[in-house]
A and B are shown apart, each in its own frame.
Chain A
Protein backbone atom coordinates (compact mmCIF):
# COMPACT_ATOMS: atom_id res chain seq x y z
CA UNK A 1 0.00 0.00 0.00
CA UNK A 2 1.26 3.46 -0.88
CA UNK A 3 0.85 6.97 0.44
CA UNK A 4 -0.23 10.02 -1.57
CA UNK A 5 2.38 12.74 -2.17
CA UNK A 6 2.71 14.94 0.89
CA UNK A 7 1.40 12.36 3.38
CA UNK A 8 3.77 10.51 5.66
CA UNK A 9 3.94 8.08 8.55
CA UNK A 10 5.98 9.17 11.53
CA UNK A 11 7.80 7.21 14.17
CA UNK A 12 9.34 8.17 17.51
CA UNK A 13 11.19 11.44 17.89
CA UNK A 14 9.13 13.72 15.62
CA UNK A 15 5.99 12.69 17.48
CA UNK A 16 7.62 13.12 20.90
CA UNK A 17 8.92 16.55 19.90
CA UNK A 18 5.58 17.66 18.54
CA UNK A 19 3.78 16.53 21.69
CA UNK A 20 6.31 18.47 23.73
CA UNK A 21 5.84 21.56 21.54
CA UNK A 22 2.04 21.37 21.92
CA UNK A 23 2.29 20.72 25.65
CA UNK A 24 4.59 23.70 26.22
CA UNK A 25 2.37 25.89 24.07
CA UNK A 26 -0.62 24.94 26.18
CA UNK A 27 1.30 25.67 29.37
CA UNK A 28 2.57 29.06 28.13
CA UNK A 29 -0.82 30.21 26.89
CA UNK A 30 -2.62 28.95 30.02
CA UNK A 31 -0.27 30.88 32.30
CA UNK A 32 -0.79 34.02 30.17
CA UNK A 33 -4.59 33.78 30.55
CA UNK A 34 -5.52 32.51 27.08
CA UNK A 35 -8.62 30.38 26.69
CA UNK A 36 -8.41 27.33 24.42
CA UNK A 37 -10.65 27.20 21.37
CA UNK A 38 -11.08 24.47 18.78
CA UNK A 39 -12.99 24.55 15.50
CA UNK A 40 -14.04 21.59 13.35
CA UNK A 41 -11.68 20.26 10.75
CA UNK A 42 -14.46 20.30 8.10
CA UNK A 43 -15.89 23.72 7.16
CA UNK A 44 -17.72 25.33 4.24
CA UNK A 45 -15.32 26.58 1.58
CA UNK A 46 -17.05 29.94 1.57
CA UNK A 47 -15.78 30.69 5.08
CA UNK A 48 -12.30 30.93 3.58
CA UNK A 49 -12.97 32.05 0.01
CA UNK A 50 -15.29 35.01 0.62
CA UNK A 51 -13.90 38.43 -0.29
CA UNK A 52 -12.92 39.24 3.30
CA UNK A 53 -10.86 36.08 3.81
CA UNK A 54 -9.72 35.89 0.16
CA UNK A 55 -8.12 32.43 0.12
CA UNK A 56 -7.76 30.40 -3.10
CA UNK A 57 -10.18 27.49 -3.43
CA UNK A 58 -7.73 25.72 -5.72
CA UNK A 59 -5.31 25.28 -2.78
CA UNK A 60 -7.87 23.60 -0.53
CA UNK A 61 -8.78 19.93 -0.05
CA UNK A 62 -12.43 19.99 -1.00
CA UNK A 63 -15.51 18.02 -2.02
CA UNK A 64 -19.25 18.50 -2.58
CA UNK A 65 -21.55 17.52 0.28
CA UNK A 66 -24.99 15.95 -0.28
CA UNK A 67 -26.57 19.38 -0.68
CA UNK A 68 -24.06 20.31 -3.37
CA UNK A 69 -22.16 22.77 -1.20
CA UNK A 70 -18.38 22.77 -1.22
CA UNK A 71 -16.78 21.65 2.02
CA UNK A 72 -13.07 21.83 2.81
CA UNK A 73 -10.56 20.57 5.32
CA UNK A 74 -9.62 23.59 7.44
CA UNK A 75 -6.97 25.50 5.41
CA UNK A 76 -6.43 28.32 7.95
CA UNK A 77 -7.00 28.78 11.65
CA UNK A 78 -7.40 32.56 11.88
CA UNK A 79 -10.46 32.66 9.61
CA UNK A 80 -12.07 29.67 11.34
CA UNK A 81 -11.44 31.15 14.79
CA UNK A 82 -12.87 34.52 13.69
CA UNK A 83 -16.06 32.74 12.57
CA UNK A 84 -16.29 30.97 15.92
CA UNK A 85 -15.46 34.01 18.06
CA UNK A 86 -18.33 36.07 16.69
CA UNK A 87 -20.63 34.01 18.91
CA UNK A 88 -18.46 34.35 22.01
CA UNK A 89 -18.86 36.88 24.79
CA UNK A 90 -16.49 39.81 24.14
CA UNK A 91 -15.15 39.73 27.71
CA UNK A 92 -12.73 36.93 26.77
CA UNK A 93 -9.92 38.65 24.90
CA UNK A 94 -7.22 36.05 24.44
CA UNK A 95 -7.66 32.75 22.62
CA UNK A 96 -5.32 29.88 21.85
CA UNK A 97 -5.72 26.97 19.45
CA UNK A 98 -3.74 24.03 18.17
CA UNK A 99 -4.28 21.52 15.40
CA UNK A 100 -3.76 20.81 11.71
CA UNK A 101 -4.35 22.85 8.60
CA UNK A 102 -4.59 21.28 5.15
CA UNK A 103 -3.36 22.92 1.95
CA UNK A 104 -2.48 21.37 -1.39
CA UNK A 105 -0.03 24.15 -2.35
CA UNK A 106 2.39 23.30 0.46
CA UNK A 107 5.03 20.57 0.50
CA UNK A 108 3.07 18.44 2.96
CA UNK A 109 -0.72 18.41 2.70
CA UNK A 110 -1.13 18.55 6.49
CA UNK A 111 0.76 20.91 8.73
CA UNK A 112 0.39 21.38 12.43
CA UNK A 113 -0.07 24.82 13.94
CA UNK A 114 -0.48 26.36 17.36
CA UNK A 115 -1.62 29.94 17.55
CA UNK A 116 -3.17 32.79 19.43
CA UNK A 117 -5.78 35.41 18.62
CA UNK A 118 -6.30 38.55 20.68
CA UNK A 119 -9.47 40.60 20.18
CA UNK A 120 -11.04 43.80 21.60
CA UNK A 121 -7.64 44.94 22.82
CA UNK A 122 -5.80 48.23 22.24
CA UNK A 123 -3.47 47.95 19.28
CA UNK A 124 -0.07 48.14 20.98
CA UNK A 125 -1.11 45.96 23.91
CA UNK A 126 -2.46 43.21 21.61
CA UNK A 127 0.56 43.20 19.33
CA UNK A 128 3.02 43.30 22.24
CA UNK A 129 1.24 40.41 23.92
CA UNK A 130 1.41 38.39 20.68
CA UNK A 131 5.13 38.99 20.26
CA UNK A 132 5.96 38.46 23.93
CA UNK A 133 3.97 35.22 23.96
CA UNK A 134 6.15 34.13 21.06
CA UNK A 135 9.31 35.03 23.01
CA UNK A 136 8.00 33.24 26.10
CA UNK A 137 7.18 30.13 24.05
CA UNK A 138 10.58 30.09 22.30
CA UNK A 139 12.31 30.37 25.69
CA UNK A 140 10.32 27.39 26.94
CA UNK A 141 11.27 25.44 23.82
CA UNK A 142 14.90 26.53 24.33
CA UNK A 143 15.10 27.75 20.74
CA UNK A 144 17.48 30.70 20.56
CA UNK A 145 18.82 31.12 17.07
CA UNK A 146 16.02 33.11 15.46
CA UNK A 147 15.09 36.54 14.23
CA UNK A 148 11.82 38.45 14.24
CA UNK A 149 10.65 40.54 11.29
CA UNK A 150 8.21 43.43 11.46
CA UNK A 151 6.31 45.06 8.61
CA UNK A 152 3.17 47.17 8.12
CA UNK A 153 0.49 47.11 5.41
CA UNK A 154 -0.14 50.85 5.83
CA UNK A 155 3.08 51.87 4.06
CA UNK A 156 2.07 50.36 0.71
CA UNK A 157 -1.50 51.69 1.13
CA UNK A 158 -0.25 55.21 1.87
CA UNK A 159 2.27 55.37 -0.99
CA UNK A 160 -0.07 53.90 -3.60
CA UNK A 161 -3.15 55.97 -2.70
CA UNK A 162 -2.22 58.96 -4.95
CA UNK A 163 -1.61 56.66 -7.94
CA UNK A 164 -5.35 56.09 -8.41
CA UNK A 165 -4.75 52.60 -9.82
CA UNK A 166 -7.64 50.30 -10.64
CA UNK A 167 -8.09 47.04 -8.73
CA UNK A 168 -6.10 44.92 -11.21
CA UNK A 169 -3.21 47.37 -11.43
CA UNK A 170 -3.06 47.63 -7.65
CA UNK A 171 -3.02 43.83 -7.33
CA UNK A 172 -0.21 43.60 -9.91
CA UNK A 173 1.74 46.23 -8.00
CA UNK A 174 1.19 44.34 -4.73
CA UNK A 175 2.41 41.12 -6.34
CA UNK A 176 5.47 42.86 -7.76
CA UNK A 177 6.27 44.24 -4.28
CA UNK A 178 5.68 40.78 -2.78
CA UNK A 179 8.22 39.31 -5.22
CA UNK A 180 10.58 42.31 -4.84
CA UNK A 181 10.52 42.86 -8.61
CA UNK A 182 11.94 46.34 -8.46
CA UNK A 183 11.78 46.94 -12.22
CA UNK A 184 8.12 45.96 -12.46
CA UNK A 185 7.19 48.02 -9.40
CA UNK A 186 8.70 51.08 -11.07
CA UNK A 187 6.99 50.34 -14.36
CA UNK A 188 3.49 49.92 -12.87
CA UNK A 189 3.79 53.13 -10.85
CA UNK A 190 5.67 55.05 -13.56
CA UNK A 191 2.89 57.60 -14.21
CA UNK A 192 4.08 59.26 -11.03
CA UNK A 193 7.88 59.20 -11.15
CA UNK A 194 8.33 60.34 -7.54
CA UNK A 195 6.13 57.58 -6.14
CA UNK A 196 7.55 55.03 -8.59
CA UNK A 197 11.00 55.88 -7.25
CA UNK A 198 9.85 55.66 -3.63
CA UNK A 199 8.09 52.33 -4.13
CA UNK A 200 10.97 50.73 -6.00
CA UNK A 201 13.40 51.89 -3.29
CA UNK A 202 11.07 50.36 -0.72
CA UNK A 203 11.75 46.93 -2.23
CA UNK A 204 15.21 47.12 -0.63
CA UNK A 205 14.04 48.71 2.64
CA UNK A 206 14.74 45.72 4.85
CA UNK A 207 17.34 45.38 7.57
CA UNK A 208 17.93 46.34 11.16
CA UNK A 209 16.99 49.48 13.12
CA UNK A 210 18.93 51.81 10.84
CA UNK A 211 16.33 51.22 8.10
CA UNK A 212 13.73 52.86 10.34
CA UNK A 213 16.01 55.79 11.03
CA UNK A 214 16.72 56.26 7.31
CA UNK A 215 13.03 56.30 6.48
CA UNK A 216 12.22 58.62 9.37
CA UNK A 217 14.32 61.16 7.47
CA UNK A 218 12.80 60.27 4.06
CA UNK A 219 9.25 60.63 5.31
CA UNK A 220 9.71 63.57 7.70
CA UNK A 221 6.85 65.43 6.01
CA UNK A 222 4.35 62.58 6.07
CA UNK A 223 2.78 62.21 9.48
CA UNK A 224 0.89 59.03 8.63
CA UNK A 225 4.07 57.22 7.57
CA UNK A 226 5.99 58.61 10.54
CA UNK A 227 3.27 57.27 12.84
CA UNK A 228 3.67 53.81 11.29
CA UNK A 229 7.44 53.96 11.70
CA UNK A 230 7.04 55.02 15.31
CA UNK A 231 4.75 52.05 15.92
CA UNK A 232 7.20 49.58 14.34
CA UNK A 233 10.05 51.14 16.29
CA UNK A 234 8.13 50.77 19.55
CA UNK A 235 7.52 47.08 18.87
CA UNK A 236 11.13 46.52 17.82
CA UNK A 237 12.35 48.21 21.00
CA UNK A 238 9.99 46.08 23.10
CA UNK A 239 11.42 42.94 21.50
CA UNK A 240 15.01 44.07 22.00
CA UNK A 241 14.33 44.86 25.64
CA UNK A 242 12.72 41.44 26.01
CA UNK A 243 15.88 39.68 24.91
CA UNK A 244 15.29 39.17 21.17
CA UNK A 245 18.75 39.63 19.74
CA UNK A 246 17.87 40.25 16.12
CA UNK A 247 14.87 42.25 15.00
CA UNK A 248 14.50 42.94 11.31
CA UNK A 249 12.15 45.37 9.62
CA UNK A 250 10.92 45.07 6.05
CA UNK A 251 9.14 48.29 5.13
CA UNK A 252 8.46 46.96 1.63
CA UNK A 253 6.58 43.89 2.82
CA UNK A 254 3.00 43.72 1.57
CA UNK A 255 0.11 41.62 2.78
CA UNK A 256 -0.33 38.18 1.26
CA UNK A 257 -3.90 37.78 2.46
CA UNK A 258 -6.50 40.53 1.98
CA UNK A 259 -7.51 40.63 5.64
CA UNK A 260 -4.19 41.89 7.01
CA UNK A 261 -4.39 45.56 7.93
CA UNK A 262 -1.55 47.01 9.99
CA UNK A 263 1.40 45.37 11.66
CA UNK A 264 2.65 42.08 10.21
CA UNK A 265 5.22 39.89 11.89
CA UNK A 266 7.01 36.62 11.37
CA UNK A 267 9.95 34.69 12.74
CA UNK A 268 12.79 32.95 10.91
CA UNK A 269 15.10 30.26 12.23
CA UNK A 270 18.55 31.55 11.36
CA UNK A 271 20.15 28.19 10.76
CA UNK A 272 17.60 26.70 8.36
CA UNK A 273 15.87 29.87 7.11
CA UNK A 274 12.47 28.36 7.89
CA UNK A 275 9.58 30.60 8.89
CA UNK A 276 8.39 29.30 12.25
CA UNK A 277 5.62 31.78 12.93
CA UNK A 278 3.70 34.46 11.10
CA UNK A 279 0.83 36.72 11.95
CA UNK A 280 -0.37 40.26 12.28
CA UNK A 281 -3.34 42.55 12.61
CA UNK A 282 -6.54 41.55 10.82
CA UNK A 283 -9.38 43.75 12.08
CA UNK A 284 -10.85 43.65 8.55
CA UNK A 285 -11.63 39.95 8.80
CA UNK A 286 -14.42 40.78 11.22
CA UNK A 287 -16.09 43.19 8.78
CA UNK A 288 -17.85 40.18 7.21
CA UNK A 289 -19.70 39.76 10.51
CA UNK A 290 -20.51 43.49 10.69
CA UNK A 291 -18.15 43.74 13.63
CA UNK A 292 -15.71 46.56 14.06
CA UNK A 293 -13.13 45.24 16.46
CA UNK A 294 -9.39 45.07 16.86
CA UNK A 295 -7.92 41.63 16.22
CA UNK A 296 -4.34 40.41 16.09
CA UNK A 297 -2.78 36.98 16.19
CA UNK A 298 -0.04 34.67 15.11
CA UNK A 299 0.38 31.00 14.28
CA UNK A 300 3.42 28.85 14.99
CA UNK A 301 4.45 26.17 12.54
CA UNK A 302 4.72 23.33 15.05
CA UNK A 303 6.27 20.99 12.48
CA UNK A 304 9.17 23.39 11.96
CA UNK A 305 9.60 24.00 15.70
CA UNK A 306 9.47 20.26 16.46
CA UNK A 307 12.17 19.50 13.91
CA UNK A 308 14.42 22.04 15.57
CA UNK A 309 13.90 20.95 19.18
CA UNK A 310 16.88 19.54 21.01
CA UNK A 311 16.18 16.10 22.39
CA UNK A 312 17.17 16.12 26.02
CA UNK A 313 15.44 13.19 27.60
CA UNK A 314 17.35 12.93 30.87
CA UNK A 315 15.08 10.25 32.34
CA UNK A 316 16.91 7.17 33.57
CA UNK A 317 15.99 4.04 31.60
CA UNK A 318 15.52 0.90 33.67
CA UNK A 319 14.72 -2.62 32.60
CA UNK A 320 13.13 -5.05 35.07
CA UNK A 321 13.56 -8.66 34.07
CA UNK A 322 10.65 -10.68 35.35
CA UNK A 323 8.64 -13.73 34.39
CA UNK A 324 4.98 -14.56 33.95
CA UNK A 325 4.79 -15.38 37.67
CA UNK A 326 6.71 -12.33 38.90
CA UNK A 327 5.20 -9.78 36.51
CA UNK A 328 2.82 -8.35 39.16
CA UNK A 329 5.73 -7.92 41.58
CA UNK A 330 7.76 -6.18 38.88
CA UNK A 331 4.86 -3.83 38.21
CA UNK A 332 4.86 -2.88 41.91
CA UNK A 333 8.61 -2.24 41.77
CA UNK A 334 8.01 0.17 38.88
CA UNK A 335 6.38 2.56 41.37
CA UNK A 336 9.78 3.04 43.08
CA UNK A 337 11.07 4.71 39.91
CA UNK A 338 8.34 7.20 39.09
CA UNK A 339 10.71 9.65 37.32
CA UNK A 340 12.33 6.99 35.18
CA UNK A 341 11.44 5.07 32.05
CA UNK A 342 10.78 1.51 33.26
CA UNK A 343 10.31 -1.39 30.89
CA UNK A 344 9.36 -4.86 32.13
CA UNK A 345 10.73 -7.67 29.97
CA UNK A 346 11.00 -11.43 30.37
CA UNK A 347 14.24 -11.58 28.45
CA UNK A 348 16.79 -8.82 27.95
CA UNK A 349 16.76 -7.42 24.42
CA UNK A 350 19.43 -4.79 23.88
CA UNK A 351 20.95 -4.00 27.26
CA UNK A 352 22.69 -0.91 25.77
CA UNK A 353 19.44 1.03 25.75
CA UNK A 354 19.09 0.84 29.55
CA UNK A 355 21.02 2.63 32.30
CA UNK A 356 20.18 -0.09 34.77
CA UNK A 357 18.92 -3.67 34.49
CA UNK A 358 17.15 -5.22 37.48
CA UNK A 359 16.15 -8.86 37.77
CA UNK A 360 13.34 -10.26 39.88
CA UNK A 361 14.59 -13.28 41.83
CA UNK A 362 13.36 -15.27 44.82
CA UNK A 363 15.10 -15.00 48.18
CA UNK A 364 15.72 -17.82 50.62
CA UNK A 365 12.12 -17.45 51.93
CA UNK A 366 10.72 -17.80 48.44
CA UNK A 367 9.74 -14.10 48.33
CA UNK A 368 10.44 -11.93 45.33
CA UNK A 369 13.18 -9.34 45.40
CA UNK A 370 15.11 -7.41 42.75
CA UNK A 371 18.84 -7.53 42.21
CA UNK A 372 20.88 -5.38 39.89
CA UNK A 373 22.30 -7.28 36.98
Chain B
Protein backbone atom coordinates (compact mmCIF):
# COMPACT_ATOMS: atom_id res chain seq x y z
CA UNK B 1 0.00 0.00 0.00
CA UNK B 2 1.34 3.42 -0.98
CA UNK B 3 0.93 6.49 1.23
CA UNK B 4 -1.62 8.93 -0.16
CA UNK B 5 -0.65 12.62 -0.10
CA UNK B 6 -3.20 15.38 -0.79
CA UNK B 7 -1.66 18.47 -2.40
CA UNK B 8 -3.05 21.99 -2.54
CA UNK B 9 -3.46 22.91 -6.20
CA UNK B 10 -1.78 26.00 -7.63
CA UNK B 11 1.27 27.77 -6.24
CA UNK B 12 1.77 25.41 -3.29
CA UNK B 13 1.64 22.46 -5.68
CA UNK B 14 4.50 23.90 -7.78
CA UNK B 15 6.55 24.75 -4.71
CA UNK B 16 5.95 21.32 -3.20
CA UNK B 17 7.05 19.57 -6.39
CA UNK B 18 10.32 21.56 -6.35
CA UNK B 19 10.82 20.72 -2.68
CA UNK B 20 9.96 17.07 -3.26
CA UNK B 21 12.39 16.91 -6.16
CA UNK B 22 15.12 18.38 -3.96
CA UNK B 23 14.60 15.37 -1.68
CA UNK B 24 15.38 13.07 -4.66
CA UNK B 25 11.86 11.72 -5.01
CA UNK B 26 10.48 10.95 -8.45
CA UNK B 27 8.32 13.93 -9.51
CA UNK B 28 8.04 13.22 -13.23
CA UNK B 29 4.42 11.94 -13.05
CA UNK B 30 3.48 15.04 -11.02
CA UNK B 31 4.96 17.45 -13.53
CA UNK B 32 3.33 15.70 -16.49
CA UNK B 33 -0.04 15.07 -14.89
CA UNK B 34 -2.04 17.27 -17.28
CA UNK B 35 -5.53 17.80 -15.84
CA UNK B 36 -5.51 14.62 -13.80
CA UNK B 37 -6.50 15.08 -10.17
CA UNK B 38 -5.07 11.73 -9.08
CA UNK B 39 -1.54 10.66 -9.89
CA UNK B 40 0.47 7.65 -8.84
CA UNK B 41 4.24 7.44 -8.65
CA UNK B 42 6.29 4.37 -7.78
CA UNK B 43 6.13 5.26 -4.10
CA UNK B 44 3.07 7.46 -3.54
CA UNK B 45 -0.45 8.31 -4.56
CA UNK B 46 -1.21 12.00 -4.92
CA UNK B 47 -4.54 13.78 -5.04
CA UNK B 48 -4.90 17.45 -5.97
CA UNK B 49 -7.52 19.65 -4.33
CA UNK B 50 -8.26 23.13 -2.99
CA UNK B 51 -6.55 23.85 0.34
CA UNK B 52 -9.60 23.43 2.51
CA UNK B 53 -10.53 20.21 0.70
CA UNK B 54 -7.03 18.86 1.36
CA UNK B 55 -7.79 19.11 5.09
CA UNK B 56 -11.15 17.36 4.58
CA UNK B 57 -9.55 14.46 2.71
CA UNK B 58 -6.88 14.10 5.39
CA UNK B 59 -9.32 14.45 8.29
CA UNK B 60 -11.47 11.64 6.88
CA UNK B 61 -8.51 9.38 6.17
CA UNK B 62 -8.85 9.41 2.38
CA UNK B 63 -5.36 10.89 2.28
CA UNK B 64 -2.73 10.01 4.89
CA UNK B 65 -0.76 13.24 4.58
CA UNK B 66 -1.58 16.67 3.21
CA UNK B 67 0.29 19.77 2.12
CA UNK B 68 -1.63 22.90 2.97
CA UNK B 69 -1.10 26.52 3.98
CA UNK B 70 -1.33 27.32 7.66
CA UNK B 71 -3.92 30.02 6.86
CA UNK B 72 -6.33 27.20 5.98
CA UNK B 73 -5.53 25.29 9.18
CA UNK B 74 -6.00 28.39 11.27
CA UNK B 75 -9.28 29.32 9.58
CA UNK B 76 -10.96 25.90 9.46
CA UNK B 77 -9.35 24.11 12.46
CA UNK B 78 -9.54 20.61 10.98
CA UNK B 79 -9.08 17.64 13.33
CA UNK B 80 -5.68 16.51 12.00
CA UNK B 81 -2.08 16.34 13.17
CA UNK B 82 -0.30 19.48 11.98
CA UNK B 83 3.15 17.97 11.98
CA UNK B 84 5.66 20.46 10.64
CA UNK B 85 6.25 23.67 8.71
CA UNK B 86 7.68 23.27 5.22
CA UNK B 87 10.30 25.54 3.66
CA UNK B 88 7.91 27.16 1.17
CA UNK B 89 4.58 28.99 0.95
CA UNK B 90 5.76 31.75 3.28
CA UNK B 91 3.12 34.47 3.69
CA UNK B 92 1.79 36.98 6.19
CA UNK B 93 -1.75 37.80 7.15
CA UNK B 94 -2.39 41.54 7.09
CA UNK B 95 -5.01 44.17 7.76
CA UNK B 96 -5.08 46.61 4.82
CA UNK B 97 -7.09 49.61 3.76
CA UNK B 98 -7.31 52.19 1.00
CA UNK B 99 -4.30 54.49 0.86
CA UNK B 100 -5.00 57.92 2.35
CA UNK B 101 -8.23 56.93 4.07
CA UNK B 102 -8.74 57.14 7.82
CA UNK B 103 -10.60 54.52 9.74
CA UNK B 104 -14.21 55.62 10.37
CA UNK B 105 -15.32 56.49 13.90
CA UNK B 106 -18.13 53.85 13.80
CA UNK B 107 -17.83 50.08 14.08
CA UNK B 108 -15.50 48.96 11.30
CA UNK B 109 -16.52 46.73 8.38
CA UNK B 110 -13.89 44.24 7.30
CA UNK B 111 -13.96 41.99 4.23
CA UNK B 112 -12.02 38.73 4.21
CA UNK B 113 -11.79 35.21 2.90
CA UNK B 114 -10.86 34.33 6.50
CA UNK B 115 -13.74 35.34 8.81
CA UNK B 116 -12.53 33.22 11.72
CA UNK B 117 -8.96 34.54 11.60
CA UNK B 118 -10.36 38.07 11.27
CA UNK B 119 -12.74 37.61 14.20
CA UNK B 120 -9.93 36.23 16.38
CA UNK B 121 -7.57 39.08 15.38
CA UNK B 122 -10.06 41.80 16.35
CA UNK B 123 -11.20 39.93 19.44
CA UNK B 124 -7.60 39.96 20.72
CA UNK B 125 -7.56 43.72 20.13
CA UNK B 126 -10.82 44.03 22.07
CA UNK B 127 -12.69 45.46 19.09
CA UNK B 128 -16.06 44.47 17.61
CA UNK B 129 -16.23 44.53 13.81
CA UNK B 130 -18.67 43.47 11.12
CA UNK B 131 -17.11 40.87 8.84
CA UNK B 132 -18.05 40.30 5.19
CA UNK B 133 -17.03 36.89 3.91
CA UNK B 134 -15.77 37.06 0.33
CA UNK B 135 -14.48 34.21 -1.83
CA UNK B 136 -11.78 36.14 -3.74
CA UNK B 137 -10.54 39.51 -5.08
CA UNK B 138 -10.92 40.84 -1.55
CA UNK B 139 -9.00 44.01 -2.54
CA UNK B 140 -12.13 45.22 -4.34
CA UNK B 141 -14.16 45.56 -1.15
CA UNK B 142 -12.66 48.84 0.19
CA UNK B 143 -12.36 50.33 -3.30
CA UNK B 144 -16.04 49.71 -4.05
CA UNK B 145 -17.14 50.78 -0.58
CA UNK B 146 -18.28 47.39 0.71
CA UNK B 147 -15.82 47.46 3.61
CA UNK B 148 -13.46 49.81 5.41
CA UNK B 149 -10.59 47.36 5.23
CA UNK B 150 -9.60 43.80 4.43
CA UNK B 151 -7.80 40.96 6.16
CA UNK B 152 -5.93 38.88 3.64
CA UNK B 153 -2.75 37.05 2.77
CA UNK B 154 0.19 39.15 1.67
CA UNK B 155 3.13 37.58 -0.07
CA UNK B 156 4.92 40.40 -1.94
CA UNK B 157 2.37 43.20 -1.40
CA UNK B 158 2.18 43.93 -5.16
CA UNK B 159 -1.55 43.16 -5.52
CA UNK B 160 -2.36 45.51 -2.67
CA UNK B 161 -0.18 48.27 -4.10
CA UNK B 162 -1.64 47.94 -7.60
CA UNK B 163 -5.14 48.31 -6.18
CA UNK B 164 -4.30 51.35 -4.07
CA UNK B 165 -4.28 49.59 -0.70
CA UNK B 166 -1.70 49.77 2.07
CA UNK B 167 -0.90 47.39 4.90
CA UNK B 168 -1.94 48.78 8.30
CA UNK B 169 -0.83 45.83 10.35
CA UNK B 170 0.74 42.44 9.80
CA UNK B 171 -0.12 39.85 12.41
CA UNK B 172 0.47 36.24 11.38
CA UNK B 173 3.44 34.79 9.52
CA UNK B 174 3.10 31.30 8.21
CA UNK B 175 4.21 28.73 5.66
CA UNK B 176 2.91 25.51 4.14
CA UNK B 177 2.60 22.63 6.58
CA UNK B 178 2.55 18.87 6.40
CA UNK B 179 -0.58 17.51 8.06
CA UNK B 180 -1.50 13.90 8.83
CA UNK B 181 -4.61 11.89 9.51
CA UNK B 182 -4.75 11.03 13.22
CA UNK B 183 -5.20 7.28 12.69
CA UNK B 184 -3.00 6.86 9.62
CA UNK B 185 0.00 8.33 11.43
CA UNK B 186 -0.22 5.50 13.97
CA UNK B 187 -1.50 2.62 11.86
CA UNK B 188 0.71 3.29 8.83
CA UNK B 189 3.65 4.59 10.85
CA UNK B 190 6.20 2.39 9.10
CA UNK B 191 5.13 3.75 5.72
CA UNK B 192 4.76 7.38 6.75
CA UNK B 193 7.65 7.89 9.17
CA UNK B 194 10.40 7.90 6.49
CA UNK B 195 8.51 10.49 4.41
CA UNK B 196 7.89 12.72 7.40
CA UNK B 197 11.51 12.39 8.51
CA UNK B 198 12.66 13.36 5.02
CA UNK B 199 10.43 16.44 5.15
CA UNK B 200 11.92 17.31 8.54
CA UNK B 201 15.50 16.92 7.53
CA UNK B 202 15.18 18.02 3.92
CA UNK B 203 16.63 14.73 2.80
CA UNK B 204 15.31 11.33 1.85
CA UNK B 205 15.62 8.68 4.54
CA UNK B 206 15.28 5.24 2.99
| A residues lining the B interface (CB < 8 Å) | 147, 149, 179-183, 206-207, 248, 250, 268, 270, 272-275
Contact = CB atoms under 8 A, between A and B. Distances in A.
Given A272-B61, A273-B181, A250 B83 contact: no
Interface in B84-118: 84-85
Nearest to A181: B82
A237 B86 CA distance: 39
Nearest to A268: B183
A47 B185 CA distance: 34
10 contacts: A147-B187, A149-B186, A179-B80, A180-B83, A181-B83, A181-B84, A182-B84, A207-B189, A268-B186, A273-B61
Contacts, number: 36
Contacts of B84: 181-183
A147 B186 CA distance: 10
Interface string B60-89: 010000000000000000001111110000
B82 A273 contact: no
The 9 closest A-B pairs by CB, nearest first: A273-B183, A180-B81, A273-B61, A179-B82, A181-B82, A268-B183, A180-B83, A270-B187, A183-B85
Interface of B: 61, 80-85, 180-181, 183-187, 189
B190 to A, nearest CB: 9
Contacts of A207: 189
B85 A273 contact: no
Given A272-B61, A273-B61, A273-B181, A248 B186 contact: yes
A182 B85 CA distance: 9
Contact of A206 (B61, B82, B189): B189
Contacts of A270: 187
Nearest to B81: A180
A247 to B, nearest CB: 12
Contacts of B80: 179
B144 to A, nearest CB: 34
Given A273-B61, A273-B181, A268 B81 contact: no
A93 B84 CA distance: 45
B187 A273 contact: yes
A199 to B, nearest CB: 15
B183 A274 contact: yes
A143 to B, nearest CB: 15
Contacts of B181: 273
A268 to B, nearest CB: 5
Contacts of B81: 179-180
A111 B82 CA distance: 27
Given A149-B186, A181-B82, A206-B189, 15 more contacts: A179-B82, A180-B81, A180-B83, A180-B180, A181-B84, A182-B83, A182-B84, A183-B84, A183-B85, A248-B186, A268-B183, A268-B187, A272-B61, A273-B181, A275-B183
Nearest to B180: A180
A200 B104 CA distance: 46
Contacts of B183: 268, 273-275
A183 B186 CA distance: 20
Nearest to A184: B82
B180 to A, nearest CB: 8
A274 B187 CA distance: 10
A230 to B, nearest CB: 23
Contact of A250 (B85, B184, B186): B186
Contacts of B186: 147, 149, 206, 248, 250, 268
- Residue among B82, B85, B180, B184 with the highest chain A CB neighbour number at 10 A: B82
Nearest to B64: A273
Contacts of A147: 186-187
A183 B184 CA distance: 21
A183 B87 CA distance: 13
Contacts of A274: 183
A146 to B, nearest CB: 10
Contacts of A149: 186
A37 to B, nearest CB: 30
A149 B189 CA distance: 13
A366 to B, nearest CB: 66
Contacts of B187: 147, 268, 270, 273
Contacts of B180: 180
A183 to B, nearest CB: 6
B26 to A, nearest CB: 26
Contacts of B61: 272-273
Nearest to A105: B79
Contacts of B189: 206-207
A180 B80 CA distance: 9
B53 to A, nearest CB: 16
Contacts of B85: 183
A273 B181 CA distance: 9
A250 B182 CA distance: 12
B90 to A, nearest CB: 14
A303 to B, nearest CB: 15
B184 A180 contact: no
A272 B61 CA distance: 8
Nearest to A207: B189
A149 B182 CA distance: 12
A8 B55 CA distance: 25
